[in-house]
Structure 1
Amino acid sequence: MSTSRHLVPLAALASGLVFGVGLSLSGMLDPVRVRGFLDVTGAWDPSLMFVLGGAVVVSAIGYQIARRLARPAFDSAFHIPTGKRIDRKLVLGSILFGVGWGLGGFCPGPAVASLSLGLAPVALFVATMLLGMLAHARLFPDPASPTPPRPG
């Protein structure tokens, strides 16, 4: 096993820790604050716009760097989405994601990071989110994904 292969888990851990700390510092782990941001007709809390703006800036810089590199450090190629079609599946998924975010006050990243708080409602949210992901994968398999071998 090459030396860079040993670094993959460490790089993933470091990325996850930086992401989690950033979510915590920004207030994204507080569902009340997130719902306040989404409540544009009531007591709107615009503070999370700075978080979203910062994420866009970091992402834009990352894409510019990626365009100049031959390949990432720990993979043979960059896996950048190429789809540009806006179809029914995308629109319905976006609506479902938005409704879930509004009702729960979490999106997947902050929900997983919030597990560190040890709160039962967060664990319930993450469990039902995972069940929804599994149900979707079973009901609507992605034809582009490789099918794992079945035992037997």
Structure 2
Amino acid sequence: MVILAQFAIGLLLGLGLVIAGMSDPAKVLNFLDLAAIPTGGWDASLAFVMTGAIAVTFLGYRLVLRRDRPVFDTRFHLPTATAIDARILVGPAIFGIGWGLAGFCPGPALTALTTGGAPAWLFLLTMFAGMAAASRLAARTPARTPAPTPALHRS
């Protein structure tokens, strides 16, 4: 049952990305081309898609976290780390650079496999190669225990 729910959610996300046109790298690159604003060539549609996603996620978290536990698990698995380290800064920077260069990010790239041709396949192959390299690097790097964060006191 869990697999079917995950499949349905992924299918809904993929359909939404395709319907919104976000599997087309040109659409993403036109959004990132801020120099085109004065000429009217800038495409703001991605901003509306992101705003919609943020609103749904915000409301979804508010509703779901009121429950005692998730539907398909015994407890919520929420992040506990609060430290900002190099991995938190470098990972999103690499993601953003790749997104800006290729016009793809993982979700839309998967949906573009049906229509995107060689660029989508090339992006996904290099993405998986990068994931494998990062995994190997992380396995070789000794784990650091984060310093405890001081408790905040309100007065």
State the TM-score, normalizing by the size of structure 2: 0.82
Per-residue CA deviations over 1:80-137 (Å, capped at 9, x if unaligned) read 2233322222112121111100011011111112112261221111011011001100
1:40 aligns with 2:34: yes
Say which is worse superposed, 56-65 or 42-51, in terms of deviation.
42-51
Q: Does 1:18 align with 2:5?
A: no
Distance in 2, matches of 1:12 and 1:90, equals 27
CA distance in 2 between counterparts of 1:84 and 1:11 reads 30
**More deviation in 24-33 or 135-144?**
135-144
CA distance in 2, matches of 1:13, 1:116: 17
Give the aligned length. 138
> What 5-or-longer segments of structure 1 have no aligned partner?
1-6, 145-152
Tell me the residue number matched to 1:85.
83
Give the alignment's Cα RMSD to 1 decimal: 1.7
Post-superposition, which runs of at least 4 consecutive aligned residues in structure 1 deviate over 6 A? none
* Counterpart for residue 149 of structure 2: none
> How high is the sequence identity, in percent, across the aligned residues?
48
Q: Which residue of 2 aligns with 1:4?
A: none
Q: Which has the higher contact order (CA 8 A, sep 6+)?
A: 2
Q: Which amino acid aligns with 1:13?
A: F
Match of residue 104 from structure 1 = 102
Gaps of 5+ in 2: 145-155
Name which of structure 1's ranges 77-86 and 64-73 shifts more when overlaid on structure 2: 77-86
Q: 1:117 aligns with which of 115, 118, 124?
A: 115
User: Contact conserved, 2:24 with 2:116, CA < 8 A, in 1?
Assistant: no
* Separation in structure 2 between the aligned mates of residue 20 and residue 129 of structure 1, nearest angstrom: 18
The normalised TM-score by structure 1 is 0.84
Give the Å deviation of 1:51: 0.3
Q: How big is the shift at 1:67?
A: 1.6
Distance 2:111 2:83 in 1: 31
Deviation per residue, 1:22-77 (Å, 9 max, x gap): 00111110100000111112232111111000000110011101221111111122
- Please say which structure displays the higher CA radius of gyration: 2
Residue 50 (structure 1) aligns with = 48
